[in-house]
Amino acid sequence: MAGVKVKAIIFDIGGVVVDSPIMAIRDFCVQRNISDLNHFLFSSSTWAATERGQLAALQECQDKGFSDGISIGLDGWRELQRAIKEGGALPRVPMLRAITRLRAAGFVVAALTNNIAPEGPAESSGLNRLRSLFDHFVESSVTKMRKPEPDFYAHALRVVGCEAPEAVFLDDIGKNLKPARDMGIFTIHVQNETPLQYLEALQKLQGLLSIKLLEDEDFKLPAETTSKL
């Protein structure tokens, strides 16, 4: 980043700005007495199929011969989609504050997310509140592109109005960071192994930008202190 002025900060949503859906998926699997679906979902095209709908997700499992995914049926995939949405509905207060401070400092702040189209007014209202936090909200359910497709990142840069070296991108999934990094975007991997590990990403960001984004009390916040949007 030496000699390059950062103009835009681009955030993933689930697992970055709001809680990761990983635990919601794990809890669902425990309740159903099936193997943890996280590895299958995030290491294959099944996640994209899940975003398209229950039938596409079930078909993906059938194509790959994944018995646990087949066994839950359409109703199970519908329930899992609901669990993923609800499990990722808790915003991370330090992230929200960081977004506010970044915008106040003159940075363009955008979201770049693979998401599922909202179902009904309640979900639409929550998504609109989330959108209002950002200057730009770039979502797969609208553009019909998704991470890690390079065109999705190129589209986001056009929307934001900057070149790749002028942007920083935060995501919790490594395979989503690689195409951005290959394009010249500075990337920060958000880790979620422990409830507050994501704060390490904000530490890196504030060090990079020389802007105070964190407070001492952030590192003492239990996970349950976050609240719904």
Among residues 126, 108, 96, 84, which one has the least CA distance to residue 198?
A: 96
Say what the pLDDT of residue 117 is: 73
pLDDT in tens, the chain (229 residues): 666 799 999 999 999 999 887 878 888 999 999 998 887 877 656 666 666 666 777 888 888 888 998 999 989 988 888 887 776 568 999 999 999 999 999 999 999 999 877 655 545 566 788 899 999 999 998 999 999 999 999 999 999 999 999 999 999 999 999 999 999 999 999 998 888 999 999 999 999 999 999 999 999 855 444 445 6
CATH number at residue 206: 3.40.50.1000
Tokens 């880790």 belong to 191
Q: Considering the domain boundaries, does residue 140 fall inside one?
A: yes
Residues 77 and 123 in one domain: no
Say what the pLDDT of residue 214 is: 97
Q: Considering the domain boundaries, does residue 1 fall inside one?
A: no
Residues 133 and 188 in one domain: yes
- The model's pTM: 0.79
Q: Residue 124: which H helix or E strand, with range?
A: helix 120-131
Q: Considering the domain boundaries, does residue 2 fall inside one?
A: no
* Parent domain of 56: 22-87
Say what the pLDDT of residue 104 is: 98
Residue type at position 23:
M
The rounded distance, in Å, linking the Cα atoms of 164 and 156 is 10
Residue 194, Ramachandran bin (φ over 0: left; ψ between -120 and 50: alpha; else beta): beta
Residues 180 and 199 in one domain: yes
Q: Considering the domain boundaries, does residue 3 fall inside one?
A: no
Structurally, the chain folds into a number of domains equal to: 2
30, 52, 87 - which closes a domain? 87
Among residues 33, 35, 39, 80, which one has the least CA distance to residue 56?
A: 80
